Structure 1
Amino acid sequence: MNNKFDYSEADITIFDKVISEYGWIVYENALSNELLDEINDSLLPAYEVRHKIQEANGIAQNMDGTLHHLVEKQLFTLKFLEQKYAHEQIIHFLKGNYILNSLGAVINVRNAQPYVQNVHRDVRTFTGSFKLMIQMMVILDDFTVENGATYMLTGSHKHDKKPDDQYFYDYADRAVARKGSIILFDANLWHAAGKNYTDKPRRTLTMAFTKPFMKQQLDYPRLLGYDFGEELNDHLRQVIGYNARTPTDLYEYYQPVHKRMYQRGQE
């Protein structure tokens, strides 16, 4: 199986063939060391904030090392999204404009048992050839078998039925990849994070991009502020979701075309 390529040599024809056949593809040498360091330095403080909320709400069990919704003005998020990583591939896969459905991270450490180690897929309804969502993992530490490289059941994006655990672990491949790589995969693909048997963390960003009419897991435009969105370039406005909002009252609904919360081209 050859699904590993250098990011500088990304080709849509190859992407289309690999993602259709295998369900996942690896692009190496995508992120700079500078950006990787910035992301990694931000994760522990961000995790502490989220873990306190998880504990306060009584849902911290099985959430070890999981960080959700890192879309914040002071974090790396806007800088990362502005780079348009795999933009052409995502547009091709979803056949048009897309928005960010979620952006989080996982800090996988020894003895942790987060829910992401369960066999799962990231879209709850099997969509077959109609693609609603594509996943991206940004590899922040080398992924190895020893530190919990993600299990990917190659080709399983073509089948509706969930495999039993025995079959999954007998036949799944491991997403062994170098730091700075990007992995794209069909949201229909069955996968699971591996266990980390080393003393160092294995970190990754996890995100989902969808067709714009799908609801985001968190209302990012409202979180960041509608006025803040006016300062963003066209790409960030689109991806963060400013062009696919839902009006909350008649004043927001009755607007000229260029001011409408749900813009054209969001099919």
Structure 2
Amino acid sequence: MENRLDYALNDLGLFDEVIWKYGWIVYENALDPQFVEDIKQSLQPAYEYRRKIQLNNGIAESMDGTLHHLVEKELFSLKFLEQKYGDPQIRHFLNGQYILNSLGAVINLKNSQAYVQNVHRDIRTFTGSFKLMIQMMVILDDFTLENGATYFLSGSHQQDEKPEADYFYAHADRALAKKGSIILFDANLWHAAGKNNTDEPRRALTMAFTKPFMKQQMDYPRFLGYAFGESLTEDLKQVIGYNSRVPADFEEYYQPVHKRMYQRGQE
């Protein structure tokens, strides 16, 4: 399957061809190796903090190794988003401006039973040719058959019905990718994390980008603070969602155009 590319980040024609046919594409050597290591080092304490909340709220069983909403001032996420990885492809796929819907990670460990191992797609409603969401996976450890490389049922982004599990695992491809790679895939694509049969963790970042009018999984501007947004670059304000907020009262609603919470150009 010819969906593995290197140094082709600006070839949107090739991106169109591969995404249309397979639903996913690999860009190798996308991240600096030291940045990959920095991200990996930050995941364990972030996971421990989230794990306590999962346990306290009684939802830990299926959340093993999953970290949600890593958009925090002290973490790597703002530095990552500043780099605009995949920006031409995301903007092209969504036909305009976009925002971050979610940014999380998976630490796939031996004997994990996390929900990401279920066959699923990342958008609940099949949207066909109308694209609302694109996924990004950042490979932090080499993905191998032994450590649970993700299954992708190539071409399944063009069909609505969920495939039977037997068919899925008999026909799905495996995302065998080196650390530092980025995988972009259509949110309609059926996929599943593999099982890790090694003693080492298999880590990856998982992100979703959407058209700006879609609700974020977490209100990142409110979480980070509206005042904090004033210190960000225009690009970061856009992708984190500061230009597509919803006013909560009349003071926020009745504002001149340049101060409105939902800015122009967010279609």
Q: TM-score, normalised by structure 1?
A: 0.99
CA contact (8 A) 1:69 1:103 kept: yes
Q: Are 1:206 and 2:219 counterparts? A: no
Deviation at 1:10, TM superposition (A): 3.9
Q: How much has 1:34 moved relative to structure 2?
A: 1.5
Matches within 5 A, 1:73-112: 73-112=73-112
**Whole-angstrom distance in 1 between the partners of 2:7 and 2:215:** 30
Q: Which residue of 2 aligns with 1:22?
A: 22
Find the counterpart in structure 2 of residue 70 from structure 1. 70
> How far does residue 62 in structure 1 lie from its aligned partner after superposition?
1.1
* Deviation for aligned residue 1:7: 3.7
The one-letter code of the counterpart of 2:53 is I
Q: Is 1:165 aligned to 2:199, yes or no? A: no
Residues 1:120 and 2:111 are matched in the alignment? no
Q: Partner residue of 1:33?
A: 33
Distance 1:8 1:230 in 2: 34
Partner Cα separation in structure 1 for residue 9 and residue 67 of structure 2: 31
Q: Where does 1:143-222 land on structure 2 (aligned, <5 Å)? A: 143-222=143-222
Provide, for residues 177-222 of structure 1, a one-character-per-residue CA deviation record: whole Å limited to 9, x for no partner: 0000000000000000000001100000000000000000000000
- Give yes or no for contact 2:9–2:86 (8 Å, CA) kept in 1: no
Distance (whole Å) between structure 2 residues aligned to residue 195 and residue 100 of structure 1? 28
Question: What is the SS of the residue equivalent to 2:128?
Answer: coil
> Compared with structure 1, are the counterparts of its residues 63 and 236 closer, same or farther at alpha carbon in structure 2 (3 Å cutoff)?
same
Deviation at 1:6, TM superposition (A): 1.0
Matched residue of 1:41: which SS?
helix
What's the counterpart of residue 57 of structure 2? Answer: 57
Counterpart of 1:132 in structure 2 is: 132
3-state SS of paired residue (1:238): helix
TM score, norm. by length of structure 2: 0.99
Cross-structure match for 2:256 = 256
CA contact (8 A) 2:10 2:88 kept: no
Letter in 1 for 2:50: R
Paired with 1:160 and 1:266, the residues of 2 have a C-alpha distance of 28
Q: Separation in 2 of the partners of 1:244 and 1:35? A: 30
- Within 1, Cα distance between the matches of 2:247 and 2:34? 39
Equivalent pair of 1:142/1:177 in contact (CA under 8 Å): yes
Partner AA of 1:86 in structure 2: G
CA RMSD of aligned residues (A): 0.7
Q: What fraction of aligned residue pairs are identical, expressed as a percent? A: 74
Distance of 2:107 and 2:199 partners within structure 1: 12
Aligned-pair distance for 1:9? 5.0
Question: CA separation in 1, counterparts of 2:11 and 2:263?
Answer: 30
Q: For residues 235 and 177 of structure 2, what CA distance do their matches in structure 1 show? A: 28
- Stretch of structure 1 that moved more, 222-231 or 4-13: 4-13
Residue aligned with 1:145, SS: coil
Could you tell me how far 1:17 is from its partner in structure 2? 0.7
Residue in structure 2 matched with residue 239 of structure 1 by the alignment = 239
User: How far apart in 1 are the matches of 2:113 and 2:176?
Assistant: 20
Gaps of 5+ in 1: none
Q: Tell me, in whole angstroms, the C-alpha distance in 1 between the residues paired with 2:246 and 2:9.
A: 39
- The one-letter code sitting in structure 2 at the alignment partner of 1:247 is P
C-alpha distance in structure 2 between counterparts of 1:7 and 1:186, whole Å: 21
> Match of 1:30, SS?
coil
Q: Deviations over 1:210-260 (max 9, x none)?
A: 000000000000000001001101110000000000000000000000000
Structure 2 stretches lacking a partner, 5+ long = none
Q: Is the 8 A contact 2:26 2:183 kept in 1?
A: yes
After superposing on structure 2, the runs of 4+ consecutive aligned residues of structure 1 that deviate more than 6 Å are: none
